[in-house]
Amino acid sequence: MTTPAVPSQSTREVSVLLYANDRGVRDAVRIAVGDEPAEDVRITRWQECATPAATLLEVQSGGYDVLVLDGESQPYGGMGVARQLKSEIFDCPPILVLTGRPGDGWLATWSLADAVLARPLDEERLRAAVADLARR
């Protein structure tokens, strides 16, 4: 019988909101990041949103440490959602935007995102980005 891992005092427990209209994208991101993206970061809650309206309501309710937004979501992409959240939410959590291609980095800057990753998504870089934002 194994005992569950007990977080050390240096382990940061975080809640992540993930916005993507495509369930496949949400599943891929959640599986790639996992529940422990780094030794010192443990995700205790994932909240998935498929619409910008649900995302805005969830972020307004508070309690999220990191937001991961799919820049390719339709009809309203994660870059637009990021800009709206950064403009409307006081003390908005850090945002990671997933773009369709590396050339979209300039647009992600416009979105006020704290971090950007381009497709194809590299699992190691995705975990590192989420962990880095969680430490902020």
The pLDDT, as a whole number, for residue 59 is: 98
The pLDDT, as a whole number, for residue 2 is: 47
First vs last C-alpha separation in the chain: 36
The pLDDT, as a whole number, for residue 6 is: 54
Is it true that domain 12-134 has CATH number 3.20.20.70?
no
Alpha-carbon span 81 to 66, nearest angstrom: 14
The pLDDT, as a whole number, for residue 8 is: 53
Per the prediction, the chain carries an average pLDDT of: 92
Q: Helix/strand/coil (H, E, C) string of 43-104? A: EEEEEEECCHHHHHHHHHHCCCCEEEEECCCCCCCHHHHHHHHHHHCCCCCCEEEEECCHHH
Q: Which residues of the chain have pLDDT under 50?
A: 2-3
**Domain spans, the chain:** 12-134
